[in-house]
Amino acid sequence: MTDRPLLLLDVDGPLNPFRSPFAALRGYKSHRMRPEVWLSYRDPESRAARRGVRVRLHPSHGARLLGLPFEIAWATAWTHQANSMISPHIGLPGDLTVVEWPELFARDPEGLSWKTRHLSRWAAGRPFAWVDDMITPRDRSWVAAHHPAPALLLRVHPRHGLRERDFTELTRWAEGISPAGR
């Protein structure tokens, strides 16, 4: 266990700017992948399933993330496949902790993201930063009211992916709450 805050990291949106028509111009590389969660919504005999989904990843993001004062964990529907499919392309270790979901995409009775309550419980009172494209003001308010430690919910637009200002914000936040970040 470390005294560094957790960095709960989503794939689609922050690392894979799937809505960006110009990701290649910003250094992203395209990869065809067949993650189980994506395949579960497709006819296995379809052309799309055979071809796979296009995933755009920036090869420098792994080193940038590892340089942050956090303990990284995957908080994505890709689950363990993030370690085997995403990590090698961006330079992250293939054995990062993975948040296990009780149910993917479960509807929340209060309109929160399907991840919000579970991530707060999973963090077990530790400070955390959650990076995702689906965070709303409602999620931020709920975590502020229910999580006993500092939490940063950083929404990253799926057209942009992680940008310099996001890395700066994560660093400043961690340094402000953790002696390990200083």
Domain boundaries, the chain: 6-20+58-181
**What is the percent of the chain where pLDDT is above 70?**
95
Instruction: Check residue 92 and give its pLDDT.
Output: 98
- For the cut 80, the answer to whether the pLDDT of residue 42 exceeds it is no
pLDDT band at 149, cuts 50/70/90?
very high
For the segment(s) 6-20+58-181, the CATH number from 2.60.40, 1.10.3210, 3.40.50, 3.30.70 is 3.40.50
The mean pLDDT of the chain is 92
Rounded Cα distance, 119 and 100, in Å: 10
- For the cut 60, the answer to whether the pLDDT of residue 175 exceeds it is yes
- For the cut 90, the answer to whether the pLDDT of residue 115 exceeds it is yes
pLDDT band at 128, cuts 50/70/90?
very high
- 47, two tokens: 């052309």
pLDDT band at 61, cuts 50/70/90?
very high
- For the cut 90, the answer to whether the pLDDT of residue 40 exceeds it is no
Q: Which range, 51-60, 72-81, 170-179, has the best average confidence (pLDDT)? A: 72-81
Record the pTM.
0.91
Q: Residues 123, 108, 37, 90: is their CA dihedral positive or negative?
A: negative
